[in-house]
Amino acid sequence: MKLSYKIVLFFLLLLSIDSVVGQQDPQYTQYMYNTMAINPGYTGSKGHLSVTALARTQWVGLNGAPDTQTFSFHTPIGYSRVGIGLNVINDKLGPSHETYFDGNVSYTIRTSDEGKLAFGLRLGGRTLNLDWSRGIYKDPDAVFSQNVSNRFLPSIGAGLYFYKPNWYLGLSVPNFLRTDHYDDFIESVAKERMHYFLIAGVVFDLNDDLKLKPAAIAKIVSGAPLSLDISANLLFKERLSVGLAWRWDDSISTLFGIQITDTLNIGYAYDLTTSNYQNYNSGTHEVMLRFDVNKPKLKSPRFF
């Protein structure tokens, strides 16, 4: 497929999601390296054991701002079409503290010599804790006085993930259940609506040493503003990457990554806020570590 044709298809995909709306769960700037947290269909797709740790400190200097840590691993089961994985997410926002535990399983079918389609299922839950003595509120009278301690909320989700060596496309719903969730906008506990995630990415060979990796994610939910992230990274000699990202009506970001060894990758992102919060914080920092265990040396390179 010619380069120009791929570019047209990629941006047509972005335009096609202009009419939908969304809101945010825990969010990541380096979503392209943390895909299983968004889509269980990604589970086992790398063909070997992959372990990822990510820490995100959002809106530094703003009291009660989101603070998120993620640990995940996934692997195929032998030479079968089945992949398994686990996500553990620790998320703090204002008076709330939520811990997610999600098991993921995928089944992959081959659609062509290079194309694969994976069906993913997620089953798990999270614990919700609320301490209303923490934080400062716009309307203190509206805040519930009753704390919440270790309330367990189950979750079940699913995803589709189609990929070839140089591009991917995914659609997922991480949780179909309408469970309780802290909403920082209304400063209360509300029923969470289903979130839809659409992801896409492609790798272009600019020359023998340089690759361009644009990617996008839309986070969609009925009745709320669209959350859209678009990024572009340059990869030099398959070792060093630098890039820029833009989150609609929220922030612009710089990204940096380096493949230290064949098994260890480190990434860093800095978000500069462009929303109404920009005068009250000094930005967002995100650090990612990924270990690829037993990675075959002769395998064709994968960049997502």
DSSP string computed for 213-250? EEEEEEEE-TTS--EEEEEEEEEETTTEEEEEEEETTT
Q: In sequence order, which ranges of 57-193 are alpha helices (DSSP H)? A: none
What pLDDT shows up at residue 42? 98
What pLDDT shows up at residue 27? 84
Whether 165 maps to a domain, the answer reads: yes
Whether 299 maps to a domain, the answer reads: no
Whether 298 maps to a domain, the answer reads: no
Whether 286 maps to a domain, the answer reads: yes
Kindly state the DSSP code that residue 3 receives in the 8-state scheme.
Answer: H
The residue with tokens 């991917």 is 168
| Count of domains forming the chain | 1
CB 86 within 8 A of CB 44: no
What pLDDT shows up at residue 213? 96
What pLDDT shows up at residue 12? 43
Q: What are the backbone dihedrals phi and psi of residue 252, each rounded to the nearest 5 degrees, phi first?
A: -120, 150
Question: Within a 10 A sphere around the Cβ of 157, how many other Cβ atoms?
Answer: 23
Output the CA–CA distances (angstroms, integers) from residue 182 to 27, 112, 166, 192, 219, in the order listed. Answer: 15, 44, 39, 9, 18
> What's this model's pTM, rounded to 2 decimal places?
0.85
What pLDDT shows up at residue 137? 57
Quick one: which of 258, 267, 268 has its CA closest to 235?
258
- The separation between CA 130 and the C-alpha centre of its own chain, rounded to angstroms, equals 24
Q: Tell me, what amino acid is at 71?
A: F
What pLDDT shows up at residue 206? 96
Q: Which two tokens stand for residue 110?
A: 């081959």
What pLDDT shows up at residue 8? 42
| Mean pLDDT in consecutive groups of 10 residues from the start of the chain, 304 residues | 45 40 66 93 96 94 89 94 97 91 97 96 94 65 68 95 96 86 54 87 95 95 85 95 93 96 95 82 93 73 66
Whether 302 maps to a domain, the answer reads: no
Question: Within a 10 A sphere around the Cβ of 253, how many other Cβ atoms?
Answer: 21
What pLDDT shows up at residue 282? 87
Whether 303 maps to a domain, the answer reads: no
Q: What range does the domain containing 53 cover? A: 3-293
Whether 212 maps to a domain, the answer reads: yes
CB 248 within 8 A of CB 237: no
What is the widest separation between alpha-carbon atoms in the chain?
A: 63
Find all residues with CB under 8 Å of 15, minimum gap 6, and list them: none
Whether 300 maps to a domain, the answer reads: no
Q: In sequence order, which ranges of the chain are alpha helices (DSSP H)? A: 3-16
Q: What is the CATH number of the domain that holds 178?
A: 2.40.160.40
Output the CA–CA distances (angstroms, integers) from residue 125 to 47, 85, 148, 271, in the order listed. Answer: 27, 15, 16, 29
